[in-house]
Structure 1
């Protein structure tokens, strides 16, 4: 009589089998965890920001799949791009939401500080498949980069994040990545504009605008003041009652010995310039002048030493550039104040 006997499974083989199952479970769990972290849409956003901070505009543009609007592309690569990111700190992208209208889309909200101020940007990414069975692949939805429009009068170029940018008719448009911080200013011998900064947080149909306020420099005002003073001093040297091409004069019916005439300036004009209708204009000028002279009465022949002080007004036209200025007094002729 034959009796079937079951050979017991060796304990060692059972242990190896359990270990293999556990290892596979760990590998699958690790892959799923890695997929949630390293292959997530948020991770791609952080990678994009790293490329921007490093000044790698080509790689960033490839990731973002964005169209570049017309304009000066100086802020899209290299040192200038890296400078636009210097004010961006504490960048995190840990808020991901499913688009309610498309389950393959994710909206990632990144939070950061721009110049110490809390800001945020949003990115839309599409699920494009899987690699190695477990790992999701994502791609940014195509978009158009935002632009910054910089406007300034009087000058032909401005400084943007340390880079000189030419202006055309006082305007320049720069396509930029986001987020970015742009600072614009300029400084010349005669004119300057304080730094104005903007933070670009995302695409927009309209450009972000920077309007620089041009101000005359102290050197510019001093140059005008010097030319006006020299002009008036030249007028005061003329020993006549009505100096030629000058704003002041003295009228009398008495006889005056010309050798006794002596003009002096008691108070020079205050220089006040402003920008009007596309040009720099000088406000009306007022000078206080005195004339010393000896008058002789035509009837009696008596002589009298007199000093007469009065205020006189005149205007002047300015012709300016960023380094030069010409002053042409209008009242009393076309004598140029050199």
Structure 2
């Protein structure tokens, strides 16, 4: 009997120890601060943006942004599934207690780039018999994004119009940065890809909660847009050449003749300028380009009345400006420059 009791007691001790160990393992895997943070990252990895925002401590109000020195008008346009990039290789590096707070450091790969973030977690009541948790500092962050030369851009392939994310709406200053809330951690790749403008991709790794990061992107004209501007300049100069006067009105070329013009001059463009566009604020300037016109005009000498023909090339230079409004309409202005 004594032996049986000893065996039963040993079995009970083993069961209790296993239960305690299993409970601890379950707590660590499912209910610990590290598990809370891992769950948030898993939601981002599976691109469940709505559910990630619902995690306690993630969503914020505008007063919290202001108190943290962040722009109160930051748009939430990127807090959606379509704007999330891949998040893989998530694993907890450390969990450290600091008073009522727990600092959980997690490593991961965001869009292929390695990253590491520390989250501040505090108690948030109880879920049955286990503690609940929330982020003491929201893992959201702000990107101050300035895109020069285009009102339209993409973030992780998600299209955005500056006027849609600015509080000024259609009156938005296209030269001003737009403020965008983003999840941390996350990789955000910005590019311009329109029929008129394009840019290389510029990537930002948001890896610090409630921080502000500035990104600047310069769009460039596409070959198609340059071709259109070149065509318009060519057409403008060709139209100038149809004017049978020595100084075609509103045109960048002309000539002066001291003798009497016997018949109206004939102009032609023998060398069109090669158009190159350079940034000029939010618009574009046509870089100075060489061109040549040709004039043929019969003249009569004021000295002896003899007749001759002026048949000469007239070199000139072309500059100008190209402005593109928010709807993609271009306005081209040609400016005359002194002859060579």
**Normalised by the shorter chain, which TM-score bucket?**
0.7 to 0.9
Deviation at 1:11, TM superposition (A): 4.4
Provide the C-alpha distance between the structure 2 equivalents of 1:244 and 1:127, rounded to a whole number of angstroms. 78
2:203 corresponds to which of 180, 197, 204? 197
Q: Structure 2 matches for 1:163-202, cutoff 5 A?
A: 163-167=158-162, 168=166, 169-170=173-174, 171-202=177-208
Deviation at 1:324, TM superposition (A): 2.7
* 2:224 maps to 1:229: no
The match for 1:5 is none
Deviation at 1:298, TM superposition (A): 4.2
SS of 1:75 mapped into structure 2: coil
The match for 2:266 is 262
Provide the C-alpha distance between the structure 2 equivalents of 1:320 and 1:115, rounded to a whole number of angstroms. 33
Provide the C-alpha distance between the structure 2 equivalents of 1:15 and 1:315, rounded to a whole number of angstroms. 99
Asked whether the 8 Å contact 2:254–2:314 carries over to 1, the reply is no
Deviation at 1:278, TM superposition (A): 4.8
Deviation at 1:239, TM superposition (A): 3.6
- Note the residue ranges of structure 2 that are not aligned, 5 or more in a row: 66-72, 167-172
SS of 1:143 mapped into structure 2: coil
The match for 1:280 is 284
Asked whether the 8 Å contact 1:85–1:179 carries over to 2, the reply is no
Asked whether the 8 Å contact 2:47–2:84 carries over to 1, the reply is no
Cα distance change of structure 1 residues 173 and 37 upon mapping to structure 2, 3 Å threshold: same
Provide the C-alpha distance between the structure 2 equivalents of 1:141 and 1:244, rounded to a whole number of angstroms. 69
SS of 1:35 mapped into structure 2: helix
Cα distance change of structure 1 residues 37 and 224 upon mapping to structure 2, 3 Å threshold: closer
2:252 corresponds to which of 219, 243, 247? 247
Q: How many equivalent pairs are there? A: 313
SS of 1:290 mapped into structure 2: strand
Q: TM-score, normalised by structure 2?
A: 0.78
SS of 1:187 mapped into structure 2: coil
Tell which deviates more after alignment, 298-307 or 232-241. 298-307
Asked whether the 8 Å contact 2:290–2:317 carries over to 1, the reply is yes
- Note the residue ranges of structure 1 that are not aligned, 5 or more in a row: 1-8, 333-338
Q: Structure 2 matches for 1:14-163, cutoff 5 A?
A: 14-66=6-58, 67-68=60-61, 69=65, 70-77=73-80, 79-80=81-82, 83-86=83-86, 88-99=87-98, 102=99, 104-126=100-122, 137-144=131-138, 145-163=140-158
C-alpha offsets along residues 184-233 of structure 1, whole Å, 9 cap, x if unaligned?
A: 2233333333322211112245x222222122222222222212211221
**Which structure's CA Rg is the greater one?**
1
Deviation at 1:47, TM superposition (A): 1.1
C-alpha offsets along residues 253-312 of structure 1, whole Å, 9 cap, x if unaligned?
A: 3344426x4322222223233333554333445421222344443444444444222312
Deviation at 1:123, TM superposition (A): 1.2
Provide the C-alpha distance between the structure 2 equivalents of 1:61 and 1:323, rounded to a whole number of angstroms. 35
